[in-house]
Amino acid sequence: MADELRDLRWAIVASQHRSLRQAAEALNVRQSTLSRRLRDLEHRLGASLFERTTGGMRPTAAGREFLEMARRIVDDVDAAFARLKTHSRGESGGLTVGVCAALSAGNLRATLMEHQDRFPNVDVKGVDGRRVGLLSDLSADAIDVAIMTAGSAAWADKALPLWSERVVAAVPEGHPLYDHEVIQWPSWRARLSLSPSATGALTTSVFY
């Protein structure tokens, strides 16, 4: 298949330059190599693609028809490979994102909008759910990624922090955390009631 495509490409270049020498230079191959490959192609087809003269070469009637089809074939193959490459890099195709309902706005919305701007050929579908359900869907390949605030030891090697946000809560005076102006999230989780000015950093991550 690779040899056939190469021969088609070389024949197309030869028809564009109308000169075997110039075509060989454009392809960075020896003129004798190009001539031999074109002869082999004509032999396989059982028809002459080019009229060769001392002034150069030009496609025959059969050659013009064949080269037009060859261009369509080469263009289709190039387009198919381009789509495959962009798909493998995540630049095209579909993406199903599982999201905790509480994250439906703010940074997440801005992130998804930026993704859409950068990769307009990716069709993004959002799925709301709870943490346990999203991780279950992720394991079952029902979604491609899950965005949530709570971590998971089982997914530690497949988690990527996205952003951190400050969180504010209020508790009565005299609470053990009352005098703390800033509280880290582990301490916050350990105590379900907080001080009037207690703030913490809540990190949102993507699991894949």
Domain layout of the chain by residue ranges: 2-88, 94-207
Predicted confidence (pLDDT) per residue in 8-52, tens digit: 999 999 999 988 899 999 999 999 999 999 999 999 999 999 998
Same fold, 2-88 and 94-207: no
Q: What is the pLDDT of residue 38?
A: 92
Residue 41 carries which side chain, given as an amino acid letter? L
Average pLDDT of the residues of the chain: 77
Q: What is the pLDDT of residue 194?
A: 44
Q: What is the pLDDT of residue 199?
A: 45
Question: Residue 132 — pLDDT band, cuts 50, 70, 90?
Answer: confident
- The answer to whether 122 and 91 have CB atoms below 8 angstroms apart is yes
- Which segment of 51-65, 86-100, 136-150 scores lowest on mean pLDDT? 86-100
Percent of the chain at pLDDT above 70?
73
Q: What is the pLDDT of residue 193?
A: 47
Q: For 103-118, b where at least 16 C-beta lie within 10 A, e where not — what string? A: beeeebeebbeeeeee
Predicted confidence (pLDDT) per residue in 69-96, tens digit: 998 888 888 877 776 666 666 655 677 8
CA-based nearest residue to 144, from 115, 164, 117, 118? 115
Q: What is the pTM of this model?
A: 0.47
Q: What is the pLDDT of residue 185?
A: 62
- Which segment of 87-101, 104-118, 136-150 scores lowest on mean pLDDT? 87-101
Class of domain 94-207: alpha beta
CA-based nearest residue to 98, from 88, 87, 112, 114? 112
Q: What is the pLDDT of residue 62?
A: 92
CATH for 2-88?
1.10.10.10
